[in-house]
Structure 1
Amino acid sequence: MTDLTPVNLPQNLPRSVPAQRALELVFGNYAVNTRRAYERALKDFQKWADLHSTQDLENLDSLRMLEYKEHLKLSGKKSASINQAMSALKKICRVLAECGYIRQNPFKSSLIRNEKVSQLSNKGALRINQLQQMLDANENIAYDERVETLLRHRNKLLLKFLYFTAARRSEASLLNWENIRQDGRFWIAILEETKSGVPQKLKIREELYQELIVWRGDLQLSGLSTPWVFPSLGQRSMGNQMTGKAINEAIRRLGNAIGIKISTHYLRHTAITLALELGEPLQKVQAYARHASANTTVRYFHDQQLLEKNPTDTLPAL
């Protein structure tokens, strides 16, 4: 092992073949976004601490790790982001230490504690009439005239898909036509790359499936042959995969059109909250949302309930 120069997946890991192999075995089956987070955490720390070899890492004073955590706080990072970065570094150091590539683990859990994270969700649920207003506004947004019809159709369907399936933007971005299959009398979407790292499936309502088929026909009539369900329609990236950032921008634009500031996650939050409000069992909604913990699902619901039925609403006016 000679340095920490970026090499194969996951990137920014030691060049030594044995160590590289050990890290690949540990991180190779992680979800893409998780691997990217580990890569980014190591790269940022490597740059800050001026690390060039595993010897540098081994000789690192544990207090330097604590200093780095403080550096992240002072730079304005949120508590959840700090915890994510430090957790990644902790795992990388532990793997290298347990496999014998460094004799001393510089990450001391007794010194480096997690930041407290608010238990409140930072995303709200929308009302059905707001969703309808966004669909109506979509018909009047000034899109690029060269692909105006396709943009209106795609963004309308994108909003419906995200709402009806509670999909994450990364999942919508990666969805291709081969992922949509029949399962008995139902239509499903196979999510090959998910947050959990395990392939999952989403049910597609019949009316949504029919709209998807019409959309695919429109793409073909326009001469756009693409494997992606929601392709980019930009002039330089026409037909390519639509990025998660672009999906978020499309939904944000629909929200702006009716005077609300939202992100893609609001649609997921809305679907989950409404399902619980309509009496669907918690375990069923948890499975539908693909949450690892039911506590996350419940938090979505309770946050909204606290806003709509807050005890302070009953206090006498002054």
Structure 2
Amino acid sequence: MTNATATLVAPSNNTAHLYGAQFLARYNGATRDLYGTRLRIFFAWCATHNLDPITGITRPLLELYSRHLEDDRANCPASVAGALSTLKMFYRLLALDNVIPASPAEYIRMPKVWSDETKTLGLDRLELSALLATARTLDNTRWALVTLLGLLGLRVSEACNVQIENFLDREERGHRIISVIGKGHKPATMPLPVPVARALDACRGDRTTGPLLLRADGEQLDRCTAARWVKSLAKRAGIRKRVSPHSLRHAMVTNALDAGVPLRDVQIAARHSDPRTTNRYDRARGNLDRHAVHTLAAYISGGA
């Protein structure tokens, strides 16, 4: 049993512990750890109030718990919404398995979460080009990292885990391809455009197996080191925005949309399950430049 499940509740509440562990078994990695933390906090609150987290919870009690997160734990609306969403999934599963007659969380009031998409702007075409050029002048590993993030749109964990065997001598219908394991352990196959293939080949050198991206000590590149590299490269390239590995994935989506690639094709390339996710990137990039009020103002002024 993992640490996330082993420390969910006090040993005396074996039933809650069992159902919590069964729920977390559906997930992996960081998602499981996050959900485990949320359940542990909720179960501790139940224990403080002598409530059985399986059979003793009602919707009003969950809304009291929501207020506890807001007032006592000083959680922001997004954190509260995340915690309640986890409880919704937990109780929905219990109801599905006939452990409880119905989910007490189904109609719980969720906090409104407002996000300013302009704060997560990706890099524009010139900035991304400058970052790629800067990385190439430093070393082939940084060049390959920025290429994987900014041109293929890989998540940082996906880029760090790329193995040489995933792309070396691999072709499909006349295209060089790379295979990656994405979010939720979903496999994906992507074509390698010539600029991307050049960067990966330069990075691997004479190696034919093992991790593509290596640190200076010869170990596989990790997420924290990759984030430091990207931040340092952005500074060298004269980019004043706050840049992270996700900024480069964001840049792949926004620049593809700006280049005229159809939304559906960008969604597939980014491996978004919902097109609304891809569309949020589009709004973030052009919510001011392409705002409807520009066209409206020009239209009205032309008739004056």
Bin for the TM-score computed over the shorter chain: 0.7 to 0.9
CA-to-aligned-CA distance 1:178-228 (integer Å, 9 cap, x gap): 332432322222222x2354322222223322321221127x5xxxx9722
Task: Please point out which of 110, 115, 122 is paired with 2:112.
Answer: 115
Match of 1:190, SS state, is strand
Unaligned runs of 5+ in 2: none
- Give the Cα–Cα distance (whole angstroms) in 2 for the partners of residues 123 and 82 of structure 1: 21
In structure 2, the partner of 1:87 is: 85
The letter of the residue matching 1:274 is N
The letter of the residue matching 2:171 is Q
- Give the Cα–Cα distance (whole angstroms) in 2 for the partners of residues 118 and 95 of structure 1: 29
1:21-170 equivalences under 5 Å are 24=22, 28=25, 30=27, 32-50=29-47, 55-60=52-57, 62-74=59-71, 75=73, 77-101=75-99, 103=100, 107-118=104-115, 120=117, 122-138=119-135, 152-170=139-157
Match of 2:84, SS state, is helix
Normalised to the residue count of structure 2, the TM-score between the two structures is 0.75
CA-to-aligned-CA distance 1:230-284 (integer Å, 9 cap, x gap): 2344x5xx413x3333322321222233233122222122211221222222211
CA-based RMSD: 3.8
Deviation at 1:162, TM superposition (A): 0.7
Q: Is the 8 A contact 1:134 1:254 kept in 2?
A: yes
- Give the Cα–Cα distance (whole angstroms) in 1 for the partners of residues 17 and 109 of structure 2: 25
Deviation at 1:49, TM superposition (A): 4.2
In structure 1, the partner of 2:171 is: 182
Match of 1:58, SS state, is coil
Q: Is the 8 A contact 2:16 2:54 kept in 1?
A: no
Q: Is the 8 A contact 1:226 1:239 kept in 2?
A: no
In structure 2, the partner of 1:296 is: 277
- Give the Cα–Cα distance (whole angstroms) in 1 for the partners of residues 55 and 87 of structure 2: 13
The aligned length equals: 288
Task: Please point out which of 5, 11, 17 is paired with 1:11.
Answer: 5
Match of 1:212, SS state, is helix
Q: Is the 8 A contact 1:33 1:195 kept in 2?
A: no
Deviation at 1:115, TM superposition (A): 2.9
In structure 2, the partner of 1:231 is: 214
Q: Is the 8 A contact 1:170 1:244 kept in 2?
A: yes
Unaligned runs of 5+ in 1: 1-6, 141-148
CA-to-aligned-CA distance 1:35-69 (integer Å, 9 cap, x gap): 33322321333344447999454334644432332
Q: Is the 8 A contact 1:29 1:197 kept in 2?
A: no
- Give the Cα–Cα distance (whole angstroms) in 2 for the partners of residues 22 and 77 of structure 1: 23
- Give the Cα–Cα distance (whole angstroms) in 2 for the partners of residues 22 and 183 of structure 1: 44
Identity value in percent: 22
Q: Is the 8 A contact 1:32 1:197 kept in 2?
A: no
Pair 290,9 (structure 1): closer, same or farther in 2 beyond 3 Å: farther
Deviation at 1:155, TM superposition (A): 1.8
Pair 136,22 (structure 1): closer, same or farther in 2 beyond 3 Å: closer
Pair 136,209 (structure 1): closer, same or farther in 2 beyond 3 Å: closer
Normalised to the residue count of structure 1, the TM-score between the two structures is 0.73
- Give the Cα–Cα distance (whole angstroms) in 2 for the partners of residues 18 and 65 of structure 1: 16
- Give the Cα–Cα distance (whole angstroms) in 1 for the partners of residues 31 and 118 of structure 2: 21
CA-to-aligned-CA distance 1:87-126 (integer Å, 9 cap, x gap): 112222332344355x476743333325334383641121
- Give the Cα–Cα distance (whole angstroms) in 2 for the partners of residues 17 and 182 of structure 1: 52
Deviation at 1:164, TM superposition (A): 1.0
In structure 2, the partner of 1:3 is: none
Deviation at 1:137, TM superposition (A): 4.6
Deviation at 1:287, TM superposition (A): 0.7
The letter of the residue matching 2:113 is K
CA-to-aligned-CA distance 1:136-169 (integer Å, 9 cap, x gap): 55578xxxxxxxx7xx332222111111111111
